[in-house]
């Protein structure tokens, strides 16, 4: 069962979080996951440079009404001063916690020296965390256990984060080259937990209550963060919390209405077709059903089809 957790004075109702996911953790999805039991949710990955240059697309990622409290944003970049300026910006003023992405394995991010590339440059990573902490914001850091198979960097990098001013770390228990495949390195997360005093959140390979319990037992982590599993089955938060799991159809309907209201018809149709495809996982005839989904031209017809499928 989840427990309450306090992070730098922020009291959270559960130590089971929704991990930030680029392209998916917009406000309607975060809201749904909170209602299902997530103790904290994060925005999609936001570019510090995008904020600095006033990108409207970047600003859209930051929509978060006052009722979403406390609020957490994930930020990425590789320039300490740009990152600090982003933390001090008006756009991030409403957010209680800024999470620094130092774990993204995607090549286009790594090539720019961002995300997990920062784990290959400890001095720069330290400068970024320190600069952001000087903004006065609560700073957390998400990273991986290393770059290549055999790396054992988690404990050392966790100590670096704590020393530079981070109030929490989240560790994805795989190296960068594994992306999201293969077993989770519980031992490294446990080593990091033993190495620091700040809360350590474990991430990776958590698909159900059994996985969550295993992660807690094997790592002694203060909390867990769930990513991909929530895309396929957001009710995973209810399962871990011990609540009755609601059926997917009413959840989908509310998510569709909220997404359309906030982002408009075109975005809602494209995005919610993808979400419906995720929610079909494990059902019979999935390939045919997904083809039908992606042929739907608007949200009205998408809703009709979803009511048939779910």
Which residues belong to the active site?
A: 104
Phi and psi, residue 47, nearest 5°: -80, 125
Name the 3-class secondary structure at 295. Answer: coil
d(CA 35, CA 56): 29
d(CA 147, CA 259): 36
Beta pairing class for 5-7 and 10-12:
antiparallel
Name the 3-class secondary structure at 27. Answer: helix
89-124 in b/e burial notation, b at 16+ Cβ within 10 A?
A: eebbeebbbbbbbbbbbeeebbeeebbbbbbeeeee
In the numeric block, the tokens 């406000």 are attached to 27
Cis status of the peptide bond prior to 54, with omega within 30 of 0: no
Q: How many CB atoms lie within 10 A of CB 58?
A: 19
The distance of Cα 49 from the centroid of its chain, to the nearest Å, equals: 20
Q: How many CB atoms lie within 10 A of CB 250?
A: 10
Phi and psi, residue 16, nearest 5°: -115, 115
């Amino acid at each position: 069962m989840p427990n309450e957790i306090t992070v730098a004075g922020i009291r959270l109702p559960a130590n089971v979080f929704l991990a930030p996911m680029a392209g998916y953790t917009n406000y309607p999805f975060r809201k749904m996951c909170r209602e299902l039991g997530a103790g904290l949710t994060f925005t999609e990955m936001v570019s510090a440079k995008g904020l600095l240059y006033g990108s409207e697309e970047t600003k859209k990622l930051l929509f978060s009404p006052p009722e979403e409290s406390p609020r957490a944003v994930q930020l990425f970049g590789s320039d300490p001063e740009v990152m600090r300026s982003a933390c001090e910006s008006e756009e991030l003023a409403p957010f209680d916690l800024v999470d620094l992405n130092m774990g993204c394995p995607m090549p286009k991010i790594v090539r720019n020296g961002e995300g997990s590339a920062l784990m290959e440059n400890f001095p720069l990573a330290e400068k970024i965390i320190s600069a952001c902490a000087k903004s006065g914001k609560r700073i957390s850091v998400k990273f991986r256990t290393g770059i290549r198979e055999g790396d054992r960097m988690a404990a050392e990098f966790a100590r670096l984060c704590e020393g530079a001013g981070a109030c929490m770390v989240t560790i994805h228990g795989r190296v960068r080259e594994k992306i999201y495949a293969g077993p989770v390195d519980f031992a490294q997360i446990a080593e990091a937990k033993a190495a620091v005093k700040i809360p350590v959140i474990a991430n990776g390979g958590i698909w159900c209550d059994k996985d969550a319990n295993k992660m807690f037992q094997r790592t002694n982590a203060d909390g867990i963060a769930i990513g991909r599993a929530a895309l396929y089955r957001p009710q995973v938060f209810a399962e871990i919390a011990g609540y009755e799991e609601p059926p997917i159809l009413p959840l989908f309907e509310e998510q569709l209405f909220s997404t359309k209201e906030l982002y408009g018809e075109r975005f809602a149709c494209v995005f919610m077709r993808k979400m419906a495809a995720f929610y079909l996982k494990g059902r019979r005839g999935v390939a045919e059903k997904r083809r039908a989904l992606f042929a739907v031209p608007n949200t009205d017809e998408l809703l009709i089809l979803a009511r048939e499928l779910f």
